[in-house]
Amino acid sequence: MCIGVPLQVQSVDGDGDFALCADGDVQERLDLRLVGPQPVGTWVLSFQGAARRVLDAEQAAQIRAALQALHAALIGDAASIDVLFADLVDREPQLPPHLVIPNPKLH
């Protein structure tokens, strides 16, 4: 399984093509050329040594929570999963707009 990890820019090399990024104890030098130079504090989605996408703080928090939930599931800590997916608990699943049939009686 391939999973991107959110990391926050800590420092940028002189030309802006590379940055030292971190989240907690995880620290990595990332290639920023796919997303362009980013200021310190920016969250990026990292995958295989490169920043693939710029994230806002909420997106980074949601991805980080999902990764923590995955870890909780792997170690059998089911109690933590609902807390980590709080945005999904107590709501009905929704189809993406392109899958919704406008008037089912016509089909």
Residues of the chain with pLDDT > 70: what percent? 95
> Does the pLDDT of residue 107 top 60, yes or no?
no
pLDDT tens readout for residues 40-58: 999 999 999 999 999 999 9
Count of beta carbons in the 10 Å neighbourhood of residue 75: 8
In angstroms, rounded to a whole number, what is the distance separating the alpha carbons of residues 21 and 46? Answer: 9
In a 10 Å sphere around its CB, with 0-12 CB exposed, 13-18 middle and 19+ buried, how is residue 74 labelled? exposed
- Is pLDDT at 82 greater than 80 in this prediction? no
How would DSSP label each residue in 38-70? --TT-EEEEETTEEEEEE-HHHHHHHHHHHHHH
Arithmetic mean of pLDDT, 26-32: 96
**Mean pLDDT score, 71-99:** 81
